[in-house]
Amino acid sequence: MSFFGIEKYNLLEDVWKDILPKSSTNTIFITPTWQSVWWRRFAAQKQPIIRQILSDGDPIGIIPLLDHGDELTFIGDSNVFDYMDFPVVSGREEEFFSAAWIEIKSMDWVGMRLESIPEDSPTIAFAEKWADSEGYSITITETDKTPYSDLPTSWEEYLLNLRKKDRHELRRKIRRLEATSDYMQREASLHPNDLEESMDEFFRLMSLSGEDKEAFLNSENKKFFLDLASTFSEKNMFKLYFLEIDKTNVAACICFDYDNKCLLYNSGYDPSYSSLSVGLINKAFTIEAAIGNNNSEYNFLKGTERYKYHLGASDRSVFKIDIAR
């Protein structure tokens, strides 16, 4: 299968994979694998524009854009991508963005909308330079937070790092669960023979969690999640955790394990068990699992839900850049 359905892009896939780990904003959402999975599911009728930028013959960055007619965007959708950006070798940003702007200026567009850019991305400063150099209008807007927590080397140390009240509450909730039920957290099998059944159970719990999540889980989004599960479980990056009570699944979390970080992508729980705080506890146990996997960071991804801060999160921002000619 050709990369993004275009034979000439095949060589760029390996270049992209080589550059991304050297980038300051390396994340699973910017991998060519994630972006091509999304494109095949949602945007196969639109033209991707992928260019490599060279310096003295060496690739230093990738331009991954999607042509919507008058508008250019990153390849992706901020509803299912928590981060998007240009993959650029750290230390080569000045060269990359100068050359990339020459390429992008030559394209046929009226507006450019770049979403979900991490707060520490060099793209923000260089996009301002791009616009100023041409007299284009530019708007940079903070659009969301992606709370995260640096992880220690043990669960006990993690608990001690929580605020006193939050530590007491989490321990109390876990003790209550221990006292009232036979429970366990398990990592679901994502073997090809089990994957669809495991994901159907996740969809059931996610739909029960709230009307917004139920509405989100239309047939295409379910297929996209299945595509992600199939693709990234083969790389041991996709993790599906269930909390069981008396052998019944009552909560679920999808996490990604990438670049020594654990990313909480989505979750669900059965509200009839809410008195036992099963959603919160299952997420806490995924933090414990991440510590056990020697992850250095736990990223709660987009949203400022209170539970994230009760579990020790600090904020990072993501931004949108709009440029108009």
With respect to residue 314, please indicate whether it lies within any of the assigned structural domains.
Answer: no
Cβ-contact 224, 274 below 8 angstroms: no
Q: Specify whether 126 is located in the same domain as 210.
A: no
With respect to residue 312, please indicate whether it lies within any of the assigned structural domains.
Answer: no
Divide the 325 residues of the chain into consecutive groups of 10 and give the mean pLDDT of each group: 77 95 96 96 93 96 96 97 98 97 96 98 97 96 98 98 98 95 94 96 97 96 98 97 96 98 98 97 98 98 98 98 97
The CATH number that applies at residue 206 is: 3.40.630.30
Beta bridge pairs of residue 213: none
Q: Specify whether 9 is located in the same domain as 128.
A: yes
Q: Specify whether 78 is located in the same domain as 173.
A: no
Q: Specify whether 159 is located in the same domain as 176.
A: yes
Domain range spanning residue 181?
A: 148-299
Output the CA torsion 243→314→120→139 (10° steps). 100
pLDDT tens profile 92-137: 999 999 999 999 999 999 999 999 999 999 999 999 999 999 999 9
With respect to residue 80, please indicate whether it lies within any of the assigned structural domains.
Answer: yes
Q: Specify whether 112 is located in the same domain as 217.
A: no
With respect to residue 180, please indicate whether it lies within any of the assigned structural domains.
Answer: yes
pLDDT (0 to 100) of residue 5: 77
Q: What angle do CA 157, 149, 296 make, to 5 degrees?
A: 75
Q: Specify whether 192 is located in the same domain as 203.
A: yes
Q: Specify whether 161 is located in the same domain as 295.
A: yes
With respect to residue 89, please indicate whether it lies within any of the assigned structural domains.
Answer: yes
Q: Specify whether 19 is located in the same domain as 138.
A: yes
Q: Specify whether 139 is located in the same domain as 92.
A: yes
Cβ atoms within 10 Å of 98's Cβ, excluding its own: 14
With respect to residue 306, please indicate whether it lies within any of the assigned structural domains.
Answer: no
